[in-house]
Amino acid sequence: MKILVTLKRVVDYNVRVRVKSDGSGVETDGVKMSINPFDEIALEEALRIKERGEAEEVIVASIGGDEVQQQLRTGLAMGADRAIQVSADGDVQPLTAARTFLKLVEKEEPGIVFLGKQAIDDDANQTGQMLAALWDRPQATFASKVELADGKATVAREVDSGLETIEVDLPAVLTSDLRLNEPRFVKLPEIMKAKRKPLETLSLEDLGVERAGGIEAVSYEPPPQRGGGKVVESVDELVSELKSKGLL
Amino acid sequence: MSRVLIIAEHDGENLSPATAKTLTGALGLGVSDIDIAVFAADPSGVAEQAAKLEGVTRVLSIDHDDFEHFLAARLAPEIKALAADYSHILMPSTTYGKDVLPRAAALIGVNQVSDIQEVIDERTFKRPIYASNAIVTVKVDEGQPVVATIRTASFAAAGEGGSAEIESRDAQAEDPGHTRWIGVEGGEGEGPDLSTAPIVVSGGRAMGSSEGFDIIYSLAKKLGAAVGASRAAVDAGYVPNELQVGQTGKIIAPDLYFAIGISGAIQHLTGIKDAGTIVAINKDPEAPIFEVADLGLVGDLFELVPELESKL
């Protein structure tokens, strides 16, 4: 079985982004970029599945300009076997991404496609579910535990009410939640080795993907700032402040 | 013509408050025709509750044994079958809505607007991105349905007093047979629901252990509050994951929020930005939580929290 893992290049999660003063977008020039943290978790899980002998190959894929090759190389250094870059300019909305990954699914025929549950830039949380719909296969989203046996995956999912378990037939789409695992660190020799691993470049046009837009970003603004707070000196003062606000 | 369809969230017996909040978001569209679809194995009780919500035109009651558990692969084709009659399809931005609706959107052939926090007009919405460090205004093209999830923390629940008609509909799709529900653990927590409680008391890594968390539970009980937690506290195993507040946990907007022993990482602040009053108790005066707190108290939480409880 092959596992396809999708990696999105995003602003590093430690960076506090700023909205451009003209409201045209978010400042990304000179900002540290990384693999979306949820995608890193998805890749880690795929690698563990392979290390247990339950998969033969792990392929990483990303959509975007040549800069995404950095994240693909990092994925290869973590242990993926090969990488596919689908080159595309501009805004790639989730449905376009799902259509693109469907083309890769048809080409590679993986048993599992593993995505992060959401990208920390657009916070959309859509692509995995959309891919599963287009592929007409099961989805197990927000996975915090995955067990494979007999062509099926048993997945514990983090839902509002607790931990839900479902069983899905493979092939299937899984999306990772934070607590699925702790991704490994990349070691220097692995980075050197990753440079020699295959990285194939295709384009949306090569794959015949029809772009799906339909939602236009009109403007961006910073979130409203909270009013200046006050540091109180004692519990008594805290209680009286809360009482004066009518909260207690 | 504009018509809105809301897919109800419920546990088989009770309509979730998330649905009434989604309705408030829908009312902001200024559209008079708002239907609620209830998919359930036995929808009658939930459908009656939905029909009482103020502003609902019609409740579609769709029963099938398959709908006992909300499996996205089963529900998405049902939603698509209903979609042709509507200009807007909405669900709450809960784990349920997040799981099901993008699958339906893809079948319909459109992108989804995730997490609407403000309705500008029928096709223009504000939503948070980058862990709520930016707000984007998006416009959905004319000629395509608006498929969207509503950020429940941004809207109050719609009131009762309506009397919508209830219409039975038949299921349209078949069980694809590839996804099976096994079970669910958790949710047996005491006290009010974290997503809707007016007061929330949250603890962080500084609680040190699950026993350390006892002072949080105790204070919450005294206040009639729900208990929350930071990711660090959940990862350390002090409390179960469904208590996590933040970008990847629950996004809440209580009137009063206590952040105790929580440093205030960006990802946590995302979950509480809309809280009415934030109180921070932390021994580190430089902790980022104090930048957003309305009231801060610096000191040892193991002394201050019991003292606070005793003085309430």
User: A170-184, B174-188, B210-224 — which is least confidently predicted?
Assistant: B174-188
Per residue in A104-145, pLDDT tens? 999 999 999 999 999 999 999 999 999 999 999 999 999 999
Is B183 inside any structural domain? no
B36 and B138 assigned to the same domain: yes
pLDDT recorded at residue B84: 95
Give the gap in angstroms from C-alpha A58 to the nearest C-alpha of chain B.
Answer: 24
Q: Count of residues for chain A? A: 248
Measured in degrees and rounded to the nearest 5, phi and psi for residue A167 equal: -120, 130
Domain CATH code at residue B122:
3.40.50.620
User: A203-207, B191-195, B274-278 — which is least confidently predicted?
Assistant: B191-195
B63 and B127 assigned to the same domain: yes
pLDDT recorded at residue A228: 78
pLDDT recorded at residue B188: 59
Chain B residues in contact with A125 (beta carbon < 8 A) = 98, 102, 114
B250 and B109 assigned to the same domain: no
pLDDT above 70 covers what percent of chain B? 99
Tell me the one-letter amino acid at B303.
Answer: E
Q: What are the Cα distances from residue B43, in Å, to B66, B79, B157, B307?
A: 12, 16, 21, 48
**What does pTM read for this prediction?**
0.93
Widest CA span of chain A, in angstroms?
69
pLDDT at B108 over 70: yes
pLDDT at B306 over 70: yes
Q: Please count the CA atoms within 13 angstroms of the CA of A89 that sit on its side-chain side.
A: 1
pLDDT recorded at residue B1: 79
Q: How far apart are CA B69 and CA B200, in angstroms?
A: 29
Chain B residues in contact with A217 (beta carbon < 8 A) = 136-138
Is B179 inside any structural domain? no
Average pLDDT over residues A160-181: 95
**Residues B176, A136: C-beta atoms closer than 8 Å:** yes
pLDDT recorded at residue B274: 86
Give the gap in angstroms from C-alpha A218 to the nearest C-alpha of chain B.
Answer: 5
B31 and B92 assigned to the same domain: yes
B214 and B165 assigned to the same domain: no
For residues B275 and B225, the answer to whether their CB atoms sit within 8 Å is: no
Widest CA span of chain B, in angstroms?
61
pLDDT at B189 over 70: no
**Residues A214, B141: C-beta atoms closer than 8 Å:** yes
For residues B203 and B229, the answer to whether their CB atoms sit within 8 Å is: yes
Give the gap in angstroms from C-alpha B156 to the nearest C-alpha of chain A.
Answer: 18
Is B151 inside any structural domain? yes
Tally of domains within chain B: 2
Residue for token digits 């219409």?
B167
Q: How far apart are CA A60 and CA A85, in angstroms?
A: 9
Strands of the sheet containing B277-282, edge to edge, are: A230-232, B295-298, B277-282, B256-260, B199-203, B226-229
Is B194 inside any structural domain? no
Considering B170, B186, B208, which residue would you say is the last residue of a domain? Answer: B170
Sequence-distant (≥ 6) Cβ neighbours of residue B81 within 8 angstroms? B172, B173
Is B175 inside any structural domain? no
Q: Is B246 annotated as a binding residue?
A: yes
**Residues A226, B292: C-beta atoms closer than 8 Å:** yes
Per residue in A206-246, pLDDT tens? 999 999 999 999 999 999 888 779 999 999 999 999 999 98
A4 pLDDT tier (thresholds 50, 70, 90): very high
pLDDT recorded at residue A248: 86
Domain that holds residue B162: 4-170
DSSP A234: S
Q: What mean pLDDT is reported for chain B?
A: 95
ipTM over 0.90: yes
Domain A2-244: CATH superfamily, name plus number: HUPs (3.40.50.620)
The residue of chain B nearest to residue A179, with distances taken between CA atoms, is B235
Q: What are the Cα distances from residue A101, in Å, to A63, A84, A132?
A: 9, 11, 10
Domain CATH code at residue B297:
3.40.50.1220
B68 and B150 assigned to the same domain: yes
B187 pLDDT tier (thresholds 50, 70, 90): low
> Which of A18, A161, A235 is facing B308, going by the closest CB pair?
A235
